[in-house]
Amino acid sequence: MKIVAQVKLLPASAYDSDALAATLRACNRAANHASEVAFAKDLKRRNVLQDAVYHRVKADFDLGAQAAVRVVKKVCDAYATLKGNIKAGNLGPERSKRRTRAESKPIVFREDAAQPFDDRILTWNLDRRTVSIWTVAGRLKGIPFVCSEQTVKLLASRRGESDLVMRDGMFFLIATIDVPEPEVYEPDGFLGVDLGIVNIATTSDGQIMAGRTLNRYRKHHRDLRTKLQKKRTKSAKRVLKRVRRREARHAANTNHIIAKQLVTTAERTSRGIALEDLSGIRQRVTAKKDQRARLHSWAFAQLGSFVEYKARRAGVPVVHVDPRNTSRQCSECWHTHRTNRVDQARFVCRSCGIVLHADHNGSRNIAHRGEAVWQRGAVNRPRTSAS
């Protein structure tokens, strides 16, 4: 499986920072030129497009030979990805309009968009924690980087390209590493996970990971953004720029912690993990006005993807089940009725009388459905659901 490793570059001087920024600008301007040629002449294959634009890209944008080759490949990869998304229908709810717009004009790259570097123009020195990288101002040697010890171990098996990224004036290198994927073991039952907003995740073991702190944090940042946007001063805009990704980073870190806890629990008890298939949840659910911000800002898909990739690294099986009526069905007698869910936190079965925390009851239903999916041998099908 593929794992993404990120390191932060620490340029020693303003000259080095300016050289890296100028390199990104030059590469992306060259990519826009190549994209226009590819669109106008329908040259989407790498070798054909490279023959058409290679010399012009080198001469007009002051790029080296290998950098020009990487630019052409980036353009071809972008068109291939766009074509794949159009075929798969992954362009959002307004598919027909977005498809028409996407096919009617060339792809445009931002001036600070990521640029791939291969081993000819980027050299890693993991012992010294430095890199040597080609720029339009010459090769910069001994640029230090910082990362965790775990990331260094991953980088030792790195192969192929790494992307140079500029974010908020800082530079990062992002590498994709192939790591061995263990065999998925035969689970002894399933750990059901009910995802929500009030409680981010509740397991069938009864563990509740409350979302109160995160929801308060999100509300604080929403109020802060509203206040700063009303001011419209230069200082307010600087603060907005500084904090714009802080909430997303905090939420991602929270999701990483929760996903790790879930996978560790399942691995320790030799169980699999059963998740709800929440694809399209934002389109299906109707929320009140004061609840819409919380619904649309919570990263359901992100937490699910974190659980899946961490589970794959540990060999823990993961299945997805149909979420319908998991909050209304009794996990003891299977009686299903909308009045069973008394309120957000309480479930009282109208048939057998059992009283449970509503999210705990839902997670137990998810665990039962996960076992049914596994027993039917449907685990290898993507987004499998159980009735």
Q: How many distinct helices (H) and strands (E) make up the chain?
A: 12, 14
pLDDT at 385 over 80: no
Average pLDDT, the chain: 86
What's the pLDDT tens digit per position in 275-327? 988 776 555 555 555 555 555 556 667 888 899 999 999 999 999 998 888 98
What's the pLDDT tens digit per position in 104-152? 789 999 999 999 999 999 999 999 999 999 999 999 999 999 999 999 9
pLDDT score for 285: 55
pTM of the model: 0.76
What's the pLDDT tens digit per position in 221-233? 888 888 888 888 9
What is the pLDDT averaged over residues 155-175?
92
Helix (H) or strand (E) run with residue 166 in it: strand 162-167
Characterize 348-384 residue by residue with b for buried, 16 or more Cβ atoms within 10 angstroms of its Cβ, and e for exposed: bbeeeeeebbbbbbbbbbbbbbbbbbbeeeebeeeeb
Burial (CB count within 10 angstroms: exposed 0-12, middle 13-18, buried 19+), residue 326: buried
CA dist list (Å): 174 to 64, 145, 155, 166: 21, 12, 10, 11
Helix 246-268 and helix 234-243, axial crossing angle in degrees, nearest 10: 10
What's the pLDDT tens digit per position in 237-268? 888 888 878 888 888 888 899 999 999 999 99
How much of the chain, in percent, has pLDDT values that exceed 90? 57
pLDDT at 39 over 60: yes
